[in-house]
């Protein structure tokens, strides 16, 4: 199985990206330089292909121990198939980074330059300075916000062999056997989401009013409300019936900056993530009386990671104008680009203003989240999109989508059955996603597109 190695100097975010790609917390992450001193390895899935991901020790020759770590890392790079070289986008390009990057290019392997910690416009402007590296494949990402990571995954995917891991929980090939060569369904077996409770997680940093919002939604004092940050530690569950639908709300513990977590609060983040794993929709609560913070963006990234339906709730909205709402909305859209699909609503949880509008919003997004898109209409949209903007050829060879079919729900997951799946560029996938949003009601939910061979044994021709 092919190896993908993450390389870079200490504290550029390699272990965080490792955990993100592995979809679990394996590598220890901290702000202490040199936390990772050995290599962590795990088998991961990128879309429908598998590889071994390697988290290497930071490249640093300042001490004898770190010099040994660096030597081991470079040896591991020689034995890898794909190299992801990471730099810190909070700083200007470093000569040492450039020297290491050029030495890695000499290994003649697919190599990407990844500029991490691009969390805002200033970081994005600074990232242009890294053009001096002359990298053919460069990605600006924010691991903490899950921004740009999908583009990197799409690039890695192009170089992975079509190996099928045994006992995969989602057997896409088996699912596609239910469809003929035109994408028409042969047998339909869909889960009845209409009979399930809608699970809603309330998340945000400490003291933004999550507990007050839960109380307003269920119309009773279910959560303890206090100005003391960190009052809620364990998730608080409460069910409520609205128009014959059961809503299950969970008020999660407020998330602090990592350096300010105290006592049993250190478990709050893990418990919040455990809740989100079982949640359909997240209410991301922001304090409209305070400026947006880096921690708000980080929490938004956590919600995005779990591929949930999302509503952004501006709480503590008392006596503010429509112009002020538009200003804050534009700021959120600028900083939370990865949540461009999430609607924004302003409320006052303590005063109960506009809280009632959340119920129909949640229901609409849940329907979008669990909807079955008609195969014929989906393929009609794909045909129109590819005619308007044809798929770019790959080294002179035609890249063609035979048909598209939805193979998963919550959120909608679409397989693009085609002749050369590795050749579908991530920018074209983004184009198709935007076209889908124009045609179908997908407000508030992410969309997962997976290019796939017509048959697992087919070769690209």
Residue set of the binding site: 8-15, 55-59, 116-119, 204-211, 251-255
Is the C-alpha dihedral spanning 302, 112, 54, 455 positive or negative? positive
Q: Are 386 and 398 in contact (CB under 8 A)?
A: no
Q: Which residue has the tokens 């809608």?
A: 198
Does residue 37 sit in helix, strand or coil?
coil
DSSP3 helix / strand / coil % (the chain, rounded to 5): 35, 20, 40
Please give the annotated binding residues for GTP, written as ranges: 8-15, 55-59, 116-119, 204-211, 251-255
Question: What do you get for the CA distance between the two ends of the chain, in Å?
Answer: 23
H or E segment at 42? strand 40-46
Q: What is the dihedral of CA 399, 400, 406, 411, to 10 degrees?
A: 30
Hey, what are 385's tokens?
Answer: 């999109």
CA-based radius of gyration for the chain = 23
Q: How many CB atoms lie within 10 A of CB 211?
A: 25
How would you classify the pairing of strands 49-55 and 40-46? antiparallel
H or E segment at 188? none
Per-residue DSSP letters for 55-70? EPPP---SSHHHHHHH
């Amino acid at each position: 199985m092919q190896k993908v190695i993450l390389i870079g100097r200490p504290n550029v975010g390699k272990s965080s990206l490792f955990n993100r790609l592995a979809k679990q917390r394996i590598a220890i992450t901290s702000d202490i330089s040199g936390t990772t001193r050995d290599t962590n390895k795990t088998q991961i899935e990128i879309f429908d292909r598998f590889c071994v991901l390697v988290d290497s020790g930071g490249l640093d020759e300042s001490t004898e121990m770190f010099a040994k770590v660096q030597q081991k890392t470079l040896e591991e790079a020689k034995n890898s198939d794909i190299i992801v070289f990471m730099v810190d986008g909070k700083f200007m390009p470093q000569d040492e980074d450039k020297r290491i990057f050029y030495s890695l290019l000499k290994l003649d392997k697919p190599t990407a330059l990844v500029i991490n910690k691009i969390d805002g416009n200033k970081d994005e402007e600074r990232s242009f300075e890294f053009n001096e590296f002359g990298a053919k494949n460069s990605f600006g990402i924010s691991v903490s916000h899950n921004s740009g990571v999908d583009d990197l995954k799409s690039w890695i995917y192009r170089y992975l062999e079509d190996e099928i891991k045994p006992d995969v929980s989602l057997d896409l090939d088996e699912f596609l056997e239910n469809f003929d060569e035109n994408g028409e369904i042969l047998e339909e077996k869909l889960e009845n989401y209409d009979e399930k409770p809608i699970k809603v997680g309330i998340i945000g940093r400490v003291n933004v009013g999550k507990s007050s919002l839960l109380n307003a939604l269920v119309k009773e004092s279910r959560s303890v409300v206090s100005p003391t940050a960190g009052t809620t530690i364990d998730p608080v569950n409460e069910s409520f019936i609205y128009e014959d639908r059961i809503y299950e709300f969970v008020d999660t513990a407020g998330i602090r900056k990592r350096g300010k977590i105290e006592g049993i609060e250190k478990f709050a983040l893990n418990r919040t993530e455990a809740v989100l794993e079982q949640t359909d929709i997240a209410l991301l609560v922001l304090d409209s009386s305070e400026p947006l913070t880096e921690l708000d963006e980080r929490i938004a990234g956590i919600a995005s990671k779990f591929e949930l339906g999302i509503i952004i709730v501006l709480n503590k909205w008392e006596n503010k104008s429509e112009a002020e709402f538009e200003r804050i909305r534009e700021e959120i859209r600028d900083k939370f680009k990865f949540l461009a699909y999430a609607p924004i609503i302003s409320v006052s949880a303590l005063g109960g203003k506009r809280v009632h509008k959340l119920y129909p919003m949640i229901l609409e997004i849940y329907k979008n989240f669990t909807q079955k898109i008609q195969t014929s209409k989906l393929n009609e949209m794909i045909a129109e999109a590819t005619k308007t903007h044809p798929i770019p050829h790959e080294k002179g060879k035609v890249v063609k989508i035979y048909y598209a079919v939805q193979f998963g729900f919550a959120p909608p997951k679409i397989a693009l059955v085609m002749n050369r799946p590795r050749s579908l560029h991530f920018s074209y996938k983004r184009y198709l996603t935007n076209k889908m949003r124009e045609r179908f009601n997908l407000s508030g939910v992410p969309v997962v597109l997976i290019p796939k061979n017509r048959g697992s044994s087919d070769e690209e021709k």
